[in-house]
A and B are shown apart, each in its own frame.
Chain A
């Protein structure tokens, strides 16, 4: 299951950090953040509950970069 989310972040390195954080979240198989298009592509593990996984992703991203937004 793959989904694409719009994000808001100010710097390229912060986008890289968000990608790292999203990748490490349980239930996320892979994640790619593109700073230029301000998109986050998330591939979920089979059977993962997307809503709760995304809440975790947001939490983890906020830890590495306070000034970021993911639009669900």
Chain B
């Protein structure tokens, strides 16, 4: 608890003691009044002061004003009848208890969220003349050598120059499986070094490093408010004056009507009392606090799982998503080319790959890289001679005294080699040895392992249509779409065509249904900003993507899209629960009070009770994330 909260707590305790004591002390008239005023001022002085200040500054209608008028009024009634002062004190007391609970809950959520996002490194071990020195990460220059021991956070982005290790990236990506990092690998700040000591040459300053960018994004995710939040602030603005005037009407109109038209006793006391209880009931705190709290918990919880949402409006829009448009390369596929098959081979597969890899060994083309990777063993370059690159077609080379030709159909045709055509989808490399066709190797971009599961999860969560847009060839695109169960594919598109396609879909759909575009952030900026919700994935380190997207997925796992939608739905349902519950109960209580079946005690219990329930409900989101977080940590 903060100092302020503790002070309120002491005041509450003192007031309760005084109230109990006063109940045992018999007193009358002025003495009684003075005695009871002691606990009243102990508990309510700040509210009275704020109410008076508000009136002086012409900012009349707020909760302080409501409480001040209600309690002063109740005391006035009590004076005239030498009646129950307890009521006024109790109203103040419970109001303060409610406020204390609220501020405690809010403070606790703030703390929880900041602990979840505890990725800020405190120091960096810089090597100066062979001696390690702990310095503020802010003071480390680009190109410095830093040492990270096991258990420490990587403070700055850089490249490993010494040592191998495994990294825990869960704080950044929500991914609990540790990642290996070897000499020469790039490492990003915010990861935790788990096993080995490494030395890193920094490549960015702290302000530019990944961890700073993420923290910036999370801490400033507040710049756009959701419709529900705006609704509540508008609601609160009109609501308080409205109830004040209603209360005034409740105090004045019925007695006048009774007096003039019914010829009955006006019963001023009864109606004024009801009006005061009406004021107590009406306090809008429950709504005003619980809605932003729910969104805050939602955004905070999502960021713990590596889903960074830039504003509560996007979280809200996400729950209404019905269309998901994907970019292909790098989003549903890995964007890395790999050997996916060997066909019609007349020599063993291993041997075929070895010949192909050797012939291509001098090339830096992505295809030769994937051949080398598929072969997997070290290549003895001395076995290769006389390499000729035939641009756009392939290579020929002497390998162990044999003439090896590796390339596409055109190369085979040019060399007059008859070959068997392969229907497989992807880039096809034909291999011939000494003028005789020995087999073909298919190289293609591999679909991400979780892509299919991700599409199924999206369908389950109520997506109407999944669309894939790609610049790639039709055959490749169609086969990927078929494999994953994507409804609609548009292939061979230029970047501008993607925007056109998204605009067409935006026009086709119902205005209430939202469209998500998911891209890997490369060349996607126009589409990302055109869609209702732009999601950039695998965006660690890509400034353009972080800038253009509304939601950033830290790792490149497409399953996270469905997870983000799930979180948003959960959060929005809690928001609506609170809106309906709080407004509903409030209106009902106002009615009870107006017709006289509820007194002021009931009113204050209703007010504080609704608020406590709404706040507890709002923090429920946070509770769920906390549990999953703990489970994950237990795994690590």
Contact = CB atoms under 8 A, between A and B. Distances in A.
Given A63-B59, A64-B59, A12 B222 contact: no
B220 interface: yes
B219 A63 contact: no
Given A11-B285, A41-B222, A41-B223, A36 B292 contact: yes
B121 interface: no
B217 to A, nearest CB: 12
Contact of B289 (A12, A41, A66, A67): A12
Interface stretch (B17-25, B103-111, B408-416): B103-111
B421 interface: no
B57 A63 contact: yes
Contacts of B4: 10
Interface in B83-107: 99, 102-103, 106
Contact of A39 (B53, B222, B237, B284): B222
Contacts of A25: none
Interface in B179-225: 219-225
Interface of A: 4, 10-13, 16-17, 19-20, 32, 34-39, 41, 63-64, 66-67
A38 B296 CA distance: 11
Contacts of A37: 110, 219, 221-222, 296
A16 B222 contact: no
B110 A32 contact: no
B50 interface: yes
Interface of B: 4, 50, 53, 57, 59, 62-63, 99, 102-103, 106, 109-110, 219-225, 233, 236-237, 284-285, 288-289, 292-293, 295-296
Most chain B CB within 10 A, of A19, A37, A64, is at A37
Given A32-B224, A63-B59, A16 B110 contact: no
A63 B288 CA distance: 20
A36 B59 contact: no
A34 B62 CA distance: 19
9 contacts: A10-B4, A13-B284, A16-B233, A32-B222, A37-B110, A37-B222, A41-B220, A41-B223, A64-B57
Contact of B109 (A20, A36, A41, A67): A36
B219 A39 contact: yes
Q: Is chain A's binding surface mostly helix, strand, loop or mixed?
A: mixed
A68 to B, nearest CB: 12
Q: Closest 4 CB pairs between A and B? A: A34-B222, A36-B296, A16-B233, A12-B289
Given A10-B103, A13-B63, A39 B288 contact: no
B307 to A, nearest CB: 17
Contacts of B109: 36
A63 to B, nearest CB: 5
Contacts of B62: 13, 17
Most chain A CB within 10 A, of B103, B106, B222, B289, is at B222
Contacts of A16: 233, 236-237, 288
Nearest to A10: B103
Contacts of B292: 12, 34-36
Contacts of B50: 66-67
Q: Is chain B's binding surface mostly helix, strand, loop or mixed?
A: helix
A62 B225 CA distance: 23
A13 B222 contact: no
A26 B96 CA distance: 36
A67 B103 CA distance: 15
Contacts of A12: 285, 288-289, 292
B290 to A, nearest CB: 9
A11 B212 CA distance: 29
B233 A4 contact: no
B592 to A, nearest CB: 24
A1 B384 CA distance: 61
Contacts of B225: 32, 34
B438 to A, nearest CB: 63
Given A13-B236, A34-B225, 8 more contacts: A10-B103, A11-B103, A32-B225, A37-B296, A39-B220, A39-B222, A41-B220, A66-B53
Contacts of A19: 233
B579 to A, nearest CB: 14
Nearest to A32: B223
Nearest to A36: B296
A32 B226 CA distance: 12
Most chain B CB within 10 A, of A12, A37, A63, is at A12
Contacts of A17: 59, 62
Nearest to B232: A16
A19 B233 CA distance: 10
A13 B59 CA distance: 13
A43 B237 CA distance: 23
Contacts of A39: 219-220, 222
B330 to A, nearest CB: 31
Contacts of B219: 37, 39
A41 B221 CA distance: 10
A32 B295 CA distance: 15
A35 to B, nearest CB: 5
A19 B225 CA distance: 12
A70 B218 CA distance: 20
